[in-house]
Amino acid sequence: MESTPPPITSSATPPPVVGTEDKTVAILSYITLIGFIAAIVIHSNKKTQLGAYHLRQTLGFFLTTAVVGFGGIVLAIIPILGILCLFGIWVGLFVFWLMGLLSAIKGEMKPMPLVGPLYQQWFSTAFN
């Protein structure tokens, strides 16, 4: 006597389905300042959680790079050590940007390392 196996059930909820418009805002926000502005315009027509999340990440990232850029002027004055430190900071920022972009491409709401949760906290009311 053969019996059919019981259906497999999972206690984990499936990830939400993300539409292309959601991803468009998220991805576009990482592509230059013009892309960020275009993403804000698109997001204002149809607000999504994914779009708002990545707009906050990118806003924080752009402000961080501006501060690092101004601070870099001071660090560049110090000979070799300042230049090496500044290079390391810029490489780290590039890695953070790349991780944010990849998260947007995948449709995930994953923060940038170290600073991403702070961006979400500081700009929690932005883009809602």
User: Where exactly are the structural domains of the chain?
Assistant: 20-122
DSSP class of 49? H
What gap in Å lies between CA 96 and CA 119, rounded to an integer? 13
Note the pTM of the prediction, 2 decimals.
0.77
Is the pLDDT at 41 greater than 90, yes or no?
yes
> Mean pLDDT score of the chain, rounded to an integer?
83
Two tokens at 29? 């926000």
pLDDT band at residue 12 using 50, 70 and 90 as cut-offs: very low
The helix/strand count (H/E) of the chain reads as: 5, 0
Query: For 21-30, 54-63, 102-111, which range has the lowest pLDDT when averaged over its residues?
Result: 21-30
Is the pLDDT at 53 greater than 90, yes or no?
yes
